[in-house]
Structure 1
């Protein structure tokens, strides 16, 4: 029985390795296709969840109450001017309908008289948890020096009714795969009776957008 030469053994080894190469390549292709399929399936699942269950929703602002906490009015005959102090307490609820937290930035609640800003109060930045609500109690005080220059003031006082408007804007973001910016507004048109010192008419408006 002849003993195989070293060259013959080497040739057989190379042939065996060559026979296994197609199998290795086939397995690699199958593994790569499997990984790609899993990645695509996960991406599709996240997309569906992002468009349905986790779809970004606008925060909802509702006005719980608006009350006149202070109204002082008098004429300064010597200086021919009106002395007017007004404070309005407003309570608003901000509801986050999302399944993730809503972070909102620093903002300012405004008190307006015929379009002019006559009072303001800061609304500090914060966070509202998933599907949670936050109550904000704000006091808006009229700054007399801002309203006295308005030419409509004297005629409104003579009529006995002072028209004011509260305005609050809350802007922030929710993170669902990526940050989504959301903004919500509320404003209330008020008519204040100077003689009875109360709010005789109130109409609130709401607006939200992504």
Structure 2
């Protein structure tokens, strides 16, 4: 038997003569670094600096100074005095009064009697004095003058608006025509009235006459103390006696 085989040697080598191939792991992409959002940082926690409440005071609130109280009392007394003074002045000096009307003359410049003595027409003239007794200006408007016969209006006219100064008297004259109107058959002859010139030529005669009524109305306002406006009005009512033959004014009574 041929024992020429090389002897078997045991190699105690930790390394394999042919190392195994490296372990090929899959090449996964690496994840990007974790980027957290850059949130703004909150401000530091500042607690409000609450002031400490004052200690509870059991005492009563302080009373107002005596000087302030005295001033309020004096102001109240002065205000009451001023109001009372205004009322006294208003009712004593500035209390509105109605103007007064004085009829000074009445004439008939023209007078016409119809042939059968049943109708008349004439021109009527009036002279009056209007006095303002107030301490303020009297502003008159809507004033009128009317003539009545047996209760029926036979003539009318408006008095122009105007002003009368305080304490002054204004003379007014008005003339207007009266259209023809019938007269009553019952006009009884009368004697002359006590007011006005008597109808006499040495022997007092009786003449037929007619009576007409005249109304003069003054309407306006008075401003007192530059603030208060007061409505005033006055009326003068007169009866005028006229002869029906020639239109002579026998007299008038207001």
Which one has the bigger strand percentage? 1
**What is the match of residue 156 of structure 1?**
187
Which one has the bigger helix percentage? 1
**Structure 1 unaligned regions, length at least 5:** 1-10, 12-20, 205-210
RMSD: 2.7
**What is the match of residue 194 of structure 1?**
244
Q: How does 1:6-155 map to 2 (within 5 A)?
A: 22=63, 24=65, 26-75=66-115, 82-144=118-180, 147-148=181-182, 153-155=184-186
Which secondary structure does the structure 2 equivalent of 1:29 belong to? Answer: helix
Q: Deviations over 1:95-117 (max 9, x none)?
A: 01111111222221001111111
**What is the match of residue 179 of structure 1?**
229
**Structure 2 unaligned regions, length at least 5:** 1-53, 55-61, 190-206
Task: Assess if the C-alpha contact under 8 Å between 2:111 and 2:246 holds in 1.
Answer: no
**1:119, 1:23 → 2: CA distance?**
76
Task: Assess if the C-alpha contact under 8 Å between 2:97 and 2:133 holds in 1.
Answer: yes
Normalised by the length of structure 1, the TM-score is 0.74
How many matched pairs? 178
Normalised by the length of structure 2, the TM-score is 0.62
